[in-house]
Amino acid sequence: MSRRVTKAAEREPADTRRSRTFWITAAVAAVVLAGGSYLLQPSRATRIAARTIALQEELLAKATDAAPKRPAIEEITRNVDTLPPDEIRRVRDALFKQLKTMREESLGRFVAASPDERLMLLDDDLERIRLARRLIDATDQGGMRPMTEAELLEREEKRKQREEQARQAPAAKPAAAKPPAAKPTPPTPRPQTEEQKQVAEYFEALTKRAKEKKVDLGRMFGRPPGRG
């Protein structure tokens, strides 16, 4: 009897040590896994930027819907106010990429449509333009894309280099008067391709419709290709 009690007493510390080691190992593993999961998660700024890009895409996809868009645009504005410059640039780049796709799709629909359908398509495009201008304003901070710290340093370095070059440059001698040059012969204009004609026709129709609807196109679409 006494021998059994002694052997049980000898086994108990070993069992306790194994149990303690198991739970310590499990706790450490849980902490490591939790930390690794946190590191793999995107940062808060990245998540906000992704949410903002998704809102932009959703709004432009439903630009002609009657649903109110102000709450989503206000959320975009708030999001941009919290983002660092590199994430704001990512949001803006995504917006302008989508606007470029939107312009190409609008042109394709216009070319394929009948004359009776084109007026309705132009009105839809003007609604998209109105919304696009609001999105550009919502993602804008001070009228231009925020510069990153590296870009600011590069700009300052270039400014110093220009000033140093100006100090070291010798004084320029007055140039001798040159006889008036003959006027160059204007180049012969190339004939427009079929695609350029279609683009010109679309922009002409869009501009005319915008004047009728009193919509300011501004620089939304730039100058149509094929124009000088």
Worst-scoring range by mean pLDDT, 46-50, 130-134, 182-186?
A: 182-186
163: its two tokens: 């000033």
Worst-scoring range by mean pLDDT, 12-21, 92-101, 124-133?
A: 12-21
- pLDDT surpassing 90 at residue 186: no
Of 43, 103, 62, 66, the C-alpha closest to 51 is 43
Encode burial over 202-219: b for 16+ CB neighbours within 10 A, e otherwise.
bbebbeebbeeeebeeee
- For 59, counting Cβ atoms within 10 Å of its Cβ (0-12 exposed, 13-18 middle, 19+ buried), the class is buried
Across the range 106-116, mean pLDDT stands at: 93
Residue-wise pLDDT for 2-59, tens only, equals: 455 444 445 555 555 566 565 566 555 554 444 443 333 469 999 999 999 999 999 9
Q: DSSP code of 222?
A: -
91, 52 contact by CB (below 8 A):
yes
- HSE-CB at 96 with a 13 A cutoff on CA atoms is 14
218: its two tokens: 């501004």
Across the range 217-228, mean pLDDT stands at: 50
Local confidence band at 222 (pLDDT 50, 70, 90 cut-offs) = very low
pLDDT of residue 172: 57
Reduce the DSSP state of residue 181 to 3 states and report it: coil
Domain ranges (residues) in the chain: 44-147+195-223
pLDDT of residue 47: 94
pTM over 0.75: no
